[in-house]
Chain A
Amino acid sequence: MRQRPSRRDLLRLGIVAGGGVLASREALAAEADARKLGIPLGPYGERSPFEKATRWTRESKTPETGSSFSPLHTSVGTLTPSSLHYERHHSGIPTIDPAKHRLMILGMVSRPLSLSMDDIRRLPSVTRTLVLECGGNSGGEWTAPGAADAQRSYGLVSCSEWTGVPLATLLAEAGVRPGATWVIAEGADACRMMRSIPIAKAMENSLLAYGQNGEAIRPSQGYPLRLVNPGWEGNTNVKWLHSLRVADQPYMARDETSKYSDLMPDGKARIFTYAMEAKSVITFPSGGQTLPGRGPYELTGLAWSGRGRIDRVEVTTDGGTSWIAAKLQEPRLPIALTRFRMSWRFEGRDALIASRAIDETGYVQPTREALVAVRGMNSVYHYNGIKFWRVRADGTVTNA
């Protein structure tokens, strides 16, 4: 790329400083203080080289399966950059040419369909900002106190703007036959991940999303097509979607029987536990961070509910003796991350801080003790207990 001539070049040519042939001493002195031009325009944006936030992943012999955790502790606002959205893959990210990708709708339908991405994009679309949370997020907290920081303990949650076509629109295209009650969704990843979705959910608000945060869905999030089930555990949001089988029974897939079922103390496991209930976590101050000194801070965090809007978030800084309503960032969207904030003065004394979310259904985020009393410690999934952090007198923050 050709650069514009710099002030130095112009001075050398003598066309600055009144057009004289020789640059004056004064002009050369001014040149020494001149500001350098910045980096030129570019085709695709990068963040500042000073920003280092990344997803965190456990070391693994099989890195194609596992999770990466979103850096909640450095997040601001409510949207997760697509590049930092948490991941959960079971057999790696497939590379899919959208021109060759097809979605098949089969089973109990009047018109089995094979659709190209172009076909799907011709249909009326909707856009929704939605939280997406892994069913196993913060599962380590069952056996408290979980991981040492907000990213590793709570980072399997993210929020994006999703654009796509309502699943109901495509089911109407295929013509659902009487008696159909389930839709079996399958991805085009190597392991062909499959989940059974009740048709009532499909008709209510499931989306076939091709857009995320204003561009095509990232490969790690299901490019080119992902099922999005608002408010339901991440695993049901099947990525790289390539087939929907309409059926009169759930298929009892491995990922809805052996996994993503919640074992109770009586030895029975809850199955089809789809909803992600109200939850919150303070992201600042949170584990691993250090307050540089006494004085005023903005305590902040994230709250969400798979059942609707967050109505209220209460914060304690005295270990749960008193709870104060935090300010909620507007607009508060249903089933989306909601940022809460509260002014707080750190006096250099130990403080036990926590938040609890209340959603529009009136549901109040329970304590860990209340959860354990009902569900024991072996249910793995759907942990949403109140999360405490301990701010120590020296300003360091740890698990509580």
Chain B
Amino acid sequence: MREGLSAVGKVARPFQGRGRGAKSPALLIGISATLFVTVTAVAQSPPFGVGRPPTPEEIRELGSAIAPDGTGLPQGSGTVAAGRELFAAQCARCHGPGGEGDVGPRLVGGRGTLRTPRPLKTVGSFWPYATTLWDYVNRAMPFDQPGRLTPPEVYAAVAYVLNLNGIVAADAVMDATSLPKIRMPNRDGFVADPRPDLGSSPRK
């Protein structure tokens, strides 16, 4: 911790320091009890008491954020057929009629290219979660009018793009239950950051 000047840090650190030097079990128990009480106290009463609970309207205006397990997905559903119509009207002008890309990025193809010198990263070849597609279309698309799509429209657009990539069938219906169950082709294509993976000592 470099400059973690947090209230939590200030409360917790003295006990960590004492704990390291403690030798008797009785003292350790005492410290644990004190720490427990302190943490509980922090959880029960805010140190400063600023702010107020959000109003239901504020939370509604914030919109949704979708986790990969589907947390946050709203009610409603959309079909591939509805998505095809919506895509032609709202998405094709930037992404091309078949999602082949134009001003906006390409949305289809690229499977099997990630290990080649010219990888093509698309929803079909690269994105690990279908929920990410829902979340992103909902929050950011269309580019010049983000936020205008209704949940059923977003489900439909997602169904269509997934179908273009051969990930769901032409009769698929996307909703809060079916979408998180989709296994994207590149679901296992991501690894944790191993850095520093380079950076040995300079030669003397």
B202 near A91: Cβ-Cβ < 8 Å:
no
Question: A106-B54, A364-B200, A374-B198 are contacts. A172–B129 as well, Cβ < 8 Å?
Answer: no
Report yes or no: A110 in contact with B43, Cβ–Cβ below 8 A.
Answer: yes
Question: Restricting to A334-384, which residues have a CB under 8 Å from any CB of B?
Answer: 334-335, 356, 358, 361-366, 370-371, 374-375, 377-378, 382
Which of B1, B131, B191 makes the CB contact (< 8 A) with A268?
A: B191
A–B Cβ pairs within 8 angstroms, 6 of them = A114-B51, A168-B9, A175-B46, A192-B140, A269-B191, A314-B202
Decide if A258 touches B47 in the complex (CB within 8 Å). Answer: no
A275 in contact with B195 given A113-B51, A114-B52 (CB within 8 Å): yes
B193 touches A334 (CB 8 A): no
How many residues of A are in contact with the other chain, CB < 8 A? 90
Taking CB as reference atom, which chain A residue is nearest B114? A267
| A59 on the B face (CB < 8 A) | no
Nearest-CB residue, chain A, relative to B125? A267
Residues of A within 8 A of B147 (CB): 190, 192
Pair B5/A126 contact, Cβ less than 8 Å: yes
Instruction: Enumerate chain B interface residues (CB-CB to A < 8 A).
Output: 1-9, 42-44, 46-55, 58-59, 62-63, 65-69, 71, 103, 114-115, 117, 119, 121, 123, 126-129, 131-132, 135-136, 139-140, 143, 146-147, 189-202
Give complex CA distance A370, B66 in Å: 39
Given A104-B59, A168-B4, A273-B193: A257 touches B132 (CB 8 Å cut-off): yes
* B193 touches which of A90, A166, A274, A356 (Cβ 8 Å): A274
Contact partners of B197 in chain A: CB under 8 A: 374-375
Least CB separation from A126: chain B residue: B5
Residue A251 at the chain B interface, CB threshold 8 Å: yes
A252 to B8, CA, bound (A): 28
A194 at the interface (CB under 8 A from B): yes
Please, how many angstroms separate the alpha-carbon atoms of A238 and B136 in the complex? 16
Top 8 A-B residue pairs of the complex, sorted by shortest distance between their CB atoms: A168-B6, A267-B115, A191-B140, A267-B114, A114-B54, A254-B136, A115-B51, A363-B199
